[in-house]
């Protein structure tokens, strides 16, 4: 009985591995196709989760000595890793040993502005990038080192609170639904242009126009550009890869499995990113407590 039970268990694992590898093969083929529309684009969003599942399938096949499945899983790992790593850092952020540093606090849908400012002050944030804020009370009188920029009737869309006095700043109207804010600053001896965006909820029909307008602004700049935000799509999507190729920007952070609503979400589309040029690196990236806000502030320490 023990032998029969072991044989059935062996057959179940074999069937599970074959089904898993068959499904992953199909998704890998779809990912290699044009992923800008349709079901291929839907599957493409989950490419990192598929990669993690594939690593588990590989480990299971190797442990149970299914060597053909192990070899096939290894080939699929190479294909999926290449697809993702061509535009994103899987597990580690890009690093540089530069002496310059810029600390950024990013948050969407702020409800408790006073709490956020307390966190920013404690973290010694240089720039606070905000989008779709649900309050205008940030208590800046208590923090004279910070100043609000790009404020207007659409303040809740995208604005910036900063220690820097900008050389210039303004709004970016990228489509009817999406806008961003920017400021040109001198961080130490490093001139740069900081851009704050939030494309959460963007549709595939809007992607092309929004990214086209954003890339136009970036390529016109004379100084290095840093972009922080929720880009609405993963870095390996067709639209985003074209955007990176056109602007020369790179994803500096590791893949962040959250949109900020909860600390870690294995089913989230990884769309929170920090973009910059080659000389810039991410010293640290982490979520801070919500402090009665709907979203966790994302704390980013850039080095250059």
Residues 55/56/57/60 CA torsion (nearest 10 deg): 130
* Phi and psi torsions of 97, nearest 5°: -95, 20
Which pLDDT score is estimated for 1?
Answer: 47
Query: What total of structural domains would you count in the chain?
Result: 2
Could you tell me if 135 and 224 lie in one domain?
yes
What residues pair up with 197 in beta bridges, in sequence order?
180, 229
Between CA 303 and CA 117, with CA 261 as vertex, the angle to 5 degrees is 55
The rounded distance, in Å, linking the Cα atoms of 55 and 267 is 17
Neighbours of 259 (CB within 10 A): 18
User: For the segment 236-256, what is each residue's pLDDT rounded down to a tens digit?
Assistant: 998 999 999 999 999 999 999
In a domain, 234, yes or no: yes
End position of a domain, from candidates 85, 117, 142: 85
The rounded distance, in Å, linking the Cα atoms of 208 and 205 is 7
Could you tell me if 223 and 168 lie in one domain?
yes
Q: Residues 53, 20: contact at Cβ < 8 Å?
A: yes
In a domain, 91, yes or no: no
The rounded distance, in Å, linking the Cα atoms of 228 and 178 is 15
Segment-wise mean pLDDT, segments of 10 residues, the chain, 304 residues: 67 88 86 68 86 95 92 94 92 88 95 94 96 89 92 72 94 92 92 96 91 97 96 93 96 95 92 96 95 93 94
Could you tell me if 33 and 175 lie in one domain?
no
In a domain, 92, yes or no: no
Which pLDDT score is estimated for 2?
Answer: 60
In a domain, 227, yes or no: yes
User: For the segment 124-134, what is each residue's pLDDT rounded down to a tens digit?
Assistant: 999 999 999 88
The rounded distance, in Å, linking the Cα atoms of 296 and 286 is 10
Q: Map tokens 């989950």 to a residue.
A: 46
Which pLDDT score is estimated for 153?
Answer: 60
Could you tell me if 153 and 279 lie in one domain?
yes
Which pLDDT score is estimated for 96?
Answer: 85
End position of a domain, from candidates 32, 52, 85: 85
In a domain, 295, yes or no: yes
Distances (CA, A) of 232 to 175, 270, 283: 14, 8, 24
pTM to 2 decimal places: 0.90
Q: Residues 193, 224: contact at Cβ < 8 Å?
A: yes
Could you tell me if 72 and 147 lie in one domain?
no
Could you tell me if 71 and 195 lie in one domain?
no
Write the CB contacts of 42 (distance below 8 Å, at least 6 apart in sequence): none
In a domain, 95, yes or no: no
**Domain around 53:** 2-85
Could you tell me if 81 and 105 lie in one domain?
no
User: For the segment 166-176, what is each residue's pLDDT rounded down to a tens digit?
Assistant: 999 999 999 98
Could you tell me if 119 and 81 lie in one domain?
no
Q: Residues 301, 286: contact at Cβ < 8 Å?
A: no
Could you tell me if 243 and 286 lie in one domain?
yes
């Amino acid at each position: 009985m023990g032998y029969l039970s072991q044989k059935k268990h062996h057959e179940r694992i074999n069937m599970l591995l074959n089904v898993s590898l068959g499904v992953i093969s199909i998704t890998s083929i779809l990912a290699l196709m044009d992923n800008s529309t349709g079901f291929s684009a839907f599957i493409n969003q989950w490419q990192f989760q598929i990669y993690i599942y594939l690593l588990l399938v590989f480990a299971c096949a190797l442990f149970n000595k299914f060597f053909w499945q192990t070899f096939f899983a290894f080939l699929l790992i190479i294909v999926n890793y290449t697809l993702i790593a061509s535009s994103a850092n899987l597990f580690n952020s890009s690093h540089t040993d530069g002496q310059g540093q810029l600390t950024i606090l990013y948050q969407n849908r702020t409800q408790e502005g006073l709490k956020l400012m307390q966190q920013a002050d404690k973290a010694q944030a240089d720039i606070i990038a905000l989008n779709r804020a649900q309050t205008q009370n940030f208590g800046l009188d208590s923090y004279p080192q910070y100043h609000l920029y790009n404020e207007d009737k659409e303040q809740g869309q995208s604005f910036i609170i900063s220690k820097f006095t900008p050389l210039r700043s303004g709004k970016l109207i990228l489509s009817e639904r999406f806008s961003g804010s920017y400021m040109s600053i001198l961080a130490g001896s490093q001139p740069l242009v900081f851009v704050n965006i939030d494309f959460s909820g963007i549709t595939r029909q809007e992607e092309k126009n929004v990214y086209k307008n954003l890339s136009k602004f970036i390529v016109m700049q004379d100084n290095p550009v840093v972009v922080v935000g929720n880009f609405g799509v993963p870095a390996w999507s067709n639209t985003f890869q074209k955007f990176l190729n056109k602007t020369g920007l790179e994803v500096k952070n590791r893949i962040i499995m959250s949109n900020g609503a909860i600390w870690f979400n294995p089913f989230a589309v990884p769309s929170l990113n920090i973009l910059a040029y080659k000389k810039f690196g991410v010293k640290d990236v982490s979520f801070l407590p919500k402090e009665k806000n709907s979203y966790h502030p994302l704390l980013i320490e850039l080095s250059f």
